[in-house]
Amino acid sequence: MAQDKITMLHGSGGQATSELIRSVFAEAFSNEVLGQMEDSAVVPGSGTIAMTTDSFVVTPLMFPGGDIGRLAVCGTVNDLLMRGAKPMYLTCGFILEEGLEVEVLRQAVKSMAETAKEAGVLIVAGDTKVIEGNGGMYINTAGVGFIENEVDISSAKIQPGDAILVSGTMGDHHAALLGERMEIETEIKSDNAPLSEMVAALLASGLELHAMRDVTRGGLATVLKELAESSQTTFVVQDEAIPVTPQVKDFCGLLGLDPYYMGNEGKLVLILPEAEAEKAVEIIRGSRYGDGATVIGKVYGAENGNGAPGDLIAETAIGGQRRMDVLQDEGLPRIC
């Protein structure tokens, strides 16, 4: 690339677009399928597939512990994993704002390529558009995963008596982004990570996995409340059991933020029979990005008396209870 900034010309569909694809995307994403350079990629399929899509509009584009490229791969890979699928193929759609530094694009693309490799997925198709703007960038990734016949993980399988686990500390991604934006110096890093190894280990364990969700936008409380509602059970969690690093705890204290509603990008919630919970914690702790796995609560039926079907209840350290809802409004500065 002779030019160091993106111009409208790079979105023309003509020579400048080809040149951009060749010099930035083709090398980083190099694989046989992308090399087909046709209108769509043709790849081996499977009897049952999972599909998902996510757009990434994060600012700043680079942040402590990650960047928009790593995030764009992790978000979609993790959504596939949550249904018990093996992530296989990603497509990526880049919307570039005029004025974007080509070097920034190159870094994001490099990061996508590395994260795709780590997660074991192939980037099979891409698209680039240029819009007016101020040098920003948006990335959409859509993904296809393969599901083995016997795997059936969904919120419909949640039952009273199930345990509620998280794979690690809450709020890291959100706090890292906010710290960067507000120019507060912290040691907090985003947890953006593909959970491929963790989920593969869980699937291989033979444990009876009922439901999995990655904890992203809306935070832990939003995910748990949605799962309680869709399964019409009552979720009870202990405030003290929710893992939060001292740094994130201090950061939240300083700004009056609630870690229950802060987004992560490399943590999951797992619901499974209580009898299998300790085994699951052990497996997650033994896999990459799972150091902080722990049980945080339990699923109850109507007989419990603690709440109605669909309720999410947090028990405080001194034994109080509060009924929690999904994220209601901009109680938190937005990060995506």
Site for a copy of itself in 119-158 (CB under 8 A): 124-127, 129, 131, 138, 140, 142-147, 154-155
Pick from 137, 172, 170, 142: which is nearest to 58 by CA? 137
Whole-angstrom CA distances from 200 to 153, 197, 269, 285 are 13, 5, 15, 13
Contact status: 222 vs a copy of itself (CB under 8 A): yes
Q: Considering only residues 166 through 195, tell me which ones interact with a copy of itself, judged by CB under 8 A.
A: none
Contact status: 2 vs a copy of itself (CB under 8 A): no
Q: Is 37 left (phi over 0), alpha (psi -120 to 50) or beta?
A: left
Residue placing its CB nearer to a copy of itself in the complex, 102 or 332: 332
Residue placing its CB nearer to a copy of itself in the complex, 50 or 284: 50
Q: Considering only residues 95 through 114, tell me which ones interact with a copy of itself, judged by CB under 8 A.
A: 95
Backbone angles phi, psi at 134, to 5 degrees: -125, 40
Q: By CB under 8 A, how many residues form the interface with a copy of itself?
A: 77
User: Cβ of residue 232: shortest distance to a copy of itself, in angstroms?
Assistant: 14
Contact status: 8 vs a copy of itself (CB under 8 A): yes
What b-and-e string marks burial along 97-114, b requiring 16 or more CB atoms within 10 Å of the CB? ebebebebbbbbbbbbbe
User: Cβ of residue 187: shortest distance to a copy of itself, in angstroms?
Assistant: 26
Q: Considering only residues 31 through 70, tell me which ones interact with a copy of itself, judged by CB under 8 A.
A: 36-57
Pick from 98, 227, 110: which is nearest to 157 by CA? 227
d(CA 214, CA 166): 9
Q: Considering only residues 74 through 93, tell me which ones interact with a copy of itself, judged by CB under 8 A.
A: 78-80, 82-83, 85, 89, 91-93
User: Cβ of residue 317: shortest distance to a copy of itself, in angstroms?
Assistant: 25
